[in-house]
Amino acid sequence: MSENIFDLTGKVSLVTGGNGGIGLGMARGLARAGSDVVVWGRNAEKNAAAREELAQYGVRILTREIDVTSEQSVTDGFADALSQMGRIDFVAANAGTGSRTPFVELETEAWNRTFALNLDSPMWLFREACRHMSQRAEAGDPGGSIAVVSSIAALTPAPTAQAYAASKAGAIALVRSIAVGYGQVGIRANAILPGFIRSDLSAHLQQMEKFTRNIIHGRVPVKRWGEGSDFEGIAVYLASDLSSFHT
């Protein structure tokens, strides 16, 4: 008799930017595996579409319009999710932004805006998640998993991605520190580093035949763009108990 070792029934997952792209792919995988899912996104129509799609898997779906660049919105939103769902077992900080502004033209406001979404937002979210998961551990229910969607840009330099690369590198450092700080109570912390994924951020590159030929076909082993659906299994693994030693 076969057993579904990735069954997430009874778990609750929260995904920021979960109404499209990588985030929706993660939310879909989690719902398919039996997890209840909280989706945060700023677009009401996309939230509604995500809720309709995910609900077909027979799990509880909660969508909220949350501005994750606001600390108060994040803390209030997390409290609301706990109130509505009872617990949070897995958190994926996926919401992010980028810029192609030449460095000498990069304004401080744009730099701060990028860091607010790519680094401040995960910090606020993970702080709330770690507090909740630590309290559960003290009550005899240890465990929990958090993940940030960083980027290969954190490791591979690009000529016009200074703010994006720096913020994504900071996100990796953040989860590494959380991993060693909270591993003793069973909280895992990991970073996902996507490469070339079809999304609004990469729309301009998708239109460039030379980029597809030289980079996608030349450097990507599977010779194609990544899709949001490629992150379904990654999210399920990190949310499951099978990743209990992966941090």
pLDDT, one tens digit per residue, over 60-103 is 999 999 999 999 999 999 999 999 999 999 999 999 888 788 99
Given a cut of 80, whether residue 219 has pLDDT beyond it is: no
Percent pLDDT > 90 in the chain is: 77
Cα of first residue to Cα of last residue in the chain, in angstroms, is: 31
Tell me the longest C-alpha to C-alpha distance in the chain: 62
Tokens of 132: 């909740």
Q: Write down all domains in the chain, each with its CATH number in brackets.
A: 12-197+228-243 (3.40.50.720)
| C-beta separation of 39 from 17 below 8 A | no
pLDDT value of residue 202: 55
From start to end of 44-183, where are the E strands?
61-64, 90-93, 144-149
Q: Residues 163-177: what's their mean pLDDT?
A: 97
pLDDT value of residue 214: 58
Given a cut of 60, whether residue 149 has pLDDT beyond it is: yes
229-to-149, 170, 235 alpha-carbon distances in Å: 15, 26, 10
| C-beta separation of 136 from 185 below 8 A | no
